[in-house]
Each structure stands twice: as structure tokens, then as C-alpha cells.
Amino acid sequence: MLSKSCIIKLISETPKKPGVYQYYNKEKQLLYVGKAKNLNNRVRSYFNKNNSPKTKVLVKQIFSVECIVVSTELDALLLENNLIKQYQPKYNVLLKDDKTYPWICITSEKFPRIFQTRKVEDKKNNYYGPYMSTWIVKILMDYISDMFYDNGWTPFSYVQRDLNNSSRMQYLSIINGVKKLLETDLKSLMRKLNNKMLYYSDRLDFERAQKIKEQIDLIKKHQTKSTIVSPKLDNIDVFSLQNDGKYAYINYLKILSGAVVQTHTLEMKKKLEESDENILQLAIVELRSRFKSNAKNIYCSHKIKNIWKNIKLSTPKIGAKKKLLDVSIKNAKYILLKNKKRRLLNSENSNVSKVLTSLKHELKLNNLPNHIECFDISNTQGFFSIGACVVFKKGRPAKKEYRFFNIKTVSGPDDFKSIEEVVYRRYLRLINEKNPLPDLIIIDGGKGQLNAAIKSLKKLSLFRKIKIIGIAKRLEEIFFEEDPIPLYLDKRSSSLKLIQHLRDEAHRFSLSQHRKKREKKLLNISLQKTRGIGPKTIEKIILNFGSIKNAKLAGIKKVGEVVGEVKAKKIFN
């Protein structure tokens, strides 16, 4: 099973776009194919604790995830179906049969027939779809039937087929109307359904009106055309190239029988002054050979020299072909950005590792300080005292683990006792909850604050088990336990910069919490002095505005909406 850090990395690399995700195990075997409106949210959901036993078994085997980005949710649905049919992944059970999405077929006969089908077979016929459900097909077929009935055609008259010329022309005009409806114009159907809905609604038959509304919503959803499945396209290869200067990424889409059945992105390191056209030409040879493609048509993002016999190369500008090329370009860009982020992160991790190694050496630590905690106190002349603890993991802020403490045992401006209380409460809780202790503790302050923190560590029997230092602001002196002579680090030192970052972050966090506490308290005090304003009104003001300043800026009208006009006037007076 993947470690927590690997899971976080895997999720962070997943785009927040519609598409299809594919899970692979260590042996690069495809385990599962799924679709999502938001790939990042969907992949994240697999690693929740409350998943079903089946999902947990799948998650244990996941080693990597590959994503294919598409334009719409419908495209994601159709692509998922294509890939499941093609590869039959082990953990996909819903779509493993030979069924596919429904189409409406208009035959090429003298008197064309119209019927629902799940197979696109005869290329002479016209196919419309695919549709996400048979419900949409039923709505359309019912409306098409009405078009024939309205013109005097019944199933019986169709079977008899009066073959005189005028009847045939009338029949074909209806067929042309059906084709127009299915290709572009659903307005007439939408108008009819909308009128029906209003009719039932006026007669208070809301149940029927709701059913018609659901039909309208289904039709609206279908109006987004798919680029993943098109009966007009047959055996085609699509290639696109994106580069970031050092690397080129070539995306390949394989289309069979009008459906995308294969996608792959190849990374190639660029040689000096090597053109995109040359790289793409090489990549096409490699990918067609690898995936055993015999397609006679190739669509490319760049114009390249045709070195193949009996193969047509083109760069489409409009229509379904251009949309397919756009999908390919989108996926090449996604892989480019993902790998760029990964290299940048690896570079940053390498730099952080060097800084932590340097810090370990300069502070004479036994272990690498992967977990560091820093404490600071903020108050106004001893009032509204707040203690703050910020946490850094592997040289980076872990903001979810930041904690602040309302000082309970100290009255007046006593930073030493406040530090003593906060450090004691922090590590008593970590011990009780059996959470990991830090490798290094930093106290914002000089020798006095450091000694106060050491008192708490001694009470908890943690002294000398955790390295603790203090940093005095003025000269950036580093103080150690039981050592009167401070350490002065080079001002350009990366170690000092990391310590300063921790100290400044602790100060920022404690100060922000202190200000919130002070503003709430002052607001409470000032409102208590206002005649006719009770504790419940004060609570409403605090919850909605947070401070006197915010309430004043909101204006008497907004405050009146929360507490009533009379009380708002009293507060503002």
C-alpha cells in the first residue's frame, strides 16, 4: 500500500477537470477505470477511511494513477465505457458486458427506417448519439412518432408502403425533419415539452409537470456534443506535441470504429536545436510500432513531412477531427505541467534536505530535524494573552497542526510563565494522545524564555530527550540549554533563515489570534455598556461582524438586519 506522502503526491498531481482515471499496480497492470467530473476530488475519495471493503482491497494494490483529461462529463462517461470494453480491468464489474450506449439509426433505404440500436455497424446508415441513457432515446422516439402521426402516417400505412412519388416525398420530408432535429435543432422538442409542463402545472398536476421537467433537463444535458465517440470517424491516429524547452511530450489517441480506445503520452528529452517537427516524426514511428497501429489517417498538431506510403497526414482546423486534436493537446499539456511540477518539487526537496542537514550540523543534533515546533506569546500589557505553536515538517509549514493557547494560569505581562504554561500543555497533550514529539523546539525569546520552557520539559521528563533552543530577536542570538554563551550563525546561512522563518511564522500566528481575542473582548465590553443590549444581541454581533470596526463599516442597515432596527440605532448612537 502507498505511504501517506505518496498518496498526498498522487492526489496533488491529479487535475481538477473532467476526465477518466486509471489505477495501476506495481506490475503496471490496469486495475480499474473510472470517470469523474472533477478528477482530483474523485481520486481523493478513494483514500478516505470510510470506504467499502471492495474499495479498500483495490486501494491496497494501487501504485500509480494515470488521467485522461476531456472537455465534458459526457466525454468522460463515454471514454470510460470505451476503455473498460477494451481492457476489461479486474475491478470494473458494471460495464464488462458487451453493451454500449444507445444510438438512433436512420437507414439508407428508399423508405428509411428509424430505430434504437447499441451497435454502429452499417456505415451507409446515419447514426445519432451516443446517448447517456435510453430515457433520452425514448423521449426522442416518442416525439419522432408524433411527427409521423401528425402527417397522417401510422405503423399500418408504413407497412403497406404506398410507393407513389408524392407519398414518398412527404415521407422523406419528415425524415429530413427528424435528421435536422437529431443533428442540431432540439428547439421544437424543447418548446413542446415546455408547453406540456406549463399545461400540467396550470392544472396543479405537479407530479406530471415534474416528470416533463426531468425530460427537459435530460435533453439539455445531452445537447453537449461528444468528441470521444463519433460515427463519422473510423480507424485514425491523433498525435500532438507540447514542449517546455528541455522535454517534449507527445500525446497519442487511437480511434477505432469511431471511439477512443487508447491514449498514451511519451516524454522525450530534446537535443540541442532539435525541431518539434522532427521529434513528432520520430514519436509517431515509435508509438505506431508500440501500439501496432495500421491506421491510414493521421491527424497532427504540427505540419510534418509524410515519410509513410499510403498514409494521409493532416492538421484539422474545424469539426469533430479538430475537437479530437484539442483533446490530445489538452492531455499533452497536462502531462507537461505534471512533470514540470514534479521536477520542481524534487529540486525543492533536495534544497530542503540540504538545509536540514546544515541545521543538524550547526546545532549539533543527533537526528535530522524533520519535525520542528516554535513557540511565541502575544499580549497587550498582559491582557488577552495568547500562546502559539507552529509546526514545520520537512522544512515546510504544516498549518493544519498549528495550535494556539489561551493563557489560563498567568495574570499580567509575564512572558516567562506564559511560555512555561504553553510548552507544558502542548507536550502533556502529545504524550497523552501518544502523538510523535518534535526533533527540535524553538522558543521566540532569549535565555529567560528558554529556561521557562526547560522547566516544563523537566516536569514532563522530556529534558535532554528533545533539543531546545531560543532565538533572541535583536542580534539573532541562538541560546542553548545550560550554556550561557550564545551561538551566532552566519546571516546568510540557510539554517538561520529557516529558524527565522519559524520564529516569524510563530509571531504572525500568535499576533493574529491575539488580535481576534482582543477585538471580540473589546466589542463585548463596549456593547455591555449600551442600555438595552443584552448578552444574546452581543453574541449575534460578534458572530456576524467580529469587531466594532466591522460592524461600523457594515452600516446601520446591515446591523439592523441581524439584531433589529431599534437595537441597531442604540448601538450606533
Cα–Cα distances in angstroms (integers) from residue 294 to residues 189, 283, 289, 312, 530, in the given order? 42, 15, 9, 12, 85
- pLDDT band for position 306 (cuts 50, 70, 90): confident
Span 31-42, average pLDDT: 90
- pLDDT band for position 155 (cuts 50, 70, 90): low
Q: Chain-wide mean pLDDT for the chain?
A: 81
Q: How far apart are CA 303 and CA 537, in angstroms?
A: 71
Q: How far apart are CA 175 and CA 275, in angstroms?
A: 51
Position 422 scores a pLDDT of 92
Span 141-147, average pLDDT: 77
Position 421 scores a pLDDT of 92
pLDDT in tens, 457-494: 999 999 889 999 999 877 788 888 877 888 888 888 88
- CB 291 within 8 Å of CB 262: yes
Host H or E run for residue 143: helix 134-150
* Least trusted range by pLDDT, from 182-186, 328-332, 553-557: 182-186
Host H or E run for residue 453: helix 447-459
Q: Which fold has domain 371-516?
A: Nucleotidyltransferase; domain 5 (3.30.420)
Q: How far apart are CA 466 and CA 128, in angstroms?
A: 71
- Closest by CA to 109, choosing from 120, 125, 123, is 125
Q: How far apart are CA 516 and CA 522, in angstroms?
A: 10
Position 424 scores a pLDDT of 94
Q: How far apart are CA 424 and CA 404, in angstroms?
A: 13
Higher pLDDT, 76 or 24: 24
- pLDDT band for position 545 (cuts 50, 70, 90): confident
pLDDT in tens, 95-141: 455 556 788 888 888 778 888 887 777 768 887 776 767 777 887 78
Handedness of CA 195, 196, 197, 203 (dihedral sign): positive
Q: Environment class of residue 242 by beta-carbon count within 10 Å: exposed (0-12), middle (13-18) or buried (19+)? A: buried
Q: How far apart are CA 90 and CA 96, in angstroms?
A: 10
Q: Is the pTM of this model over 0.75?
A: no
CB proximity list for 530: less than 8 A, separation 6 or greater: 570, 571
- Closest by CA to 424, choosing from 446, 440, 409, is 409
Position 391 scores a pLDDT of 94
Position 347 scores a pLDDT of 79
Position 428 scores a pLDDT of 94
Q: How far apart are CA 94 and CA 91, in angstroms?
A: 9
The residues that bridge with 468 in the sheet, in sequence order, are 441
Q: How far apart are CA 311 and CA 300, in angstroms?
A: 13
- pLDDT band for position 12 (cuts 50, 70, 90): confident
Host H or E run for residue 249: strand 247-256
Give the percent of the chain with pLDDT over 90: 15
Question: What per-residue string of b and e applies to 429-441 under the rule 16 or more CB within 10 Å gives b?
Answer: ebeeeeeeebbbb
- Closest by CA to 102, choosing from 252, 4, 229, 195, is 229
Q: How far apart are CA 573 and CA 80, in angstroms?
A: 65
Q: In sequence order, what DSSP letters do the residues of 47-88 get, joined into one string?
A: T-TT--HHHHHHHHH--EEEEEE-SSHHHHHHHHHHHHHHH-
Position 528 scores a pLDDT of 57
pLDDT in tens, 504-538: 999 898 888 877 776 666 555 555 556 666 667 76
- Closest by CA to 314, choosing from 325, 336, 298, is 298
* Least trusted range by pLDDT, from 171-185, 261-275, 364-378: 171-185
Distance of CA 510 to the CA centre of its chain: 32
Q: In sequence order, what DSSP letters do the residues of 338-376 get, joined into one string?
A: HHHHHHHHHHHHHHHHHHHHHHHHHTT-SS---EEEEEE
- CB 251 within 8 Å of CB 332: yes
Handedness of CA 80, 82, 84, 87 (dihedral sign): negative
Select the CATH number that applies to the domain covering 4-87 from these four: 3.40.250.10, 3.40.50.1980, 3.40.50.300, 3.40.1440.10.
3.40.1440.10
- pLDDT band for position 159 (cuts 50, 70, 90): low
Q: How far apart are CA 313 and CA 305, in angstroms?
A: 9
pLDDT in tens, 383-441: 668 888 999 998 889 989 999 888 888 777 778 898 999 999 999 999 999 999 999 99
Query: How would you classify the pairing of strands 396-397 and 383-393?
Result: antiparallel
The number of helices, as runs of H, and strands, as runs of E, in the chain is: 18, 19
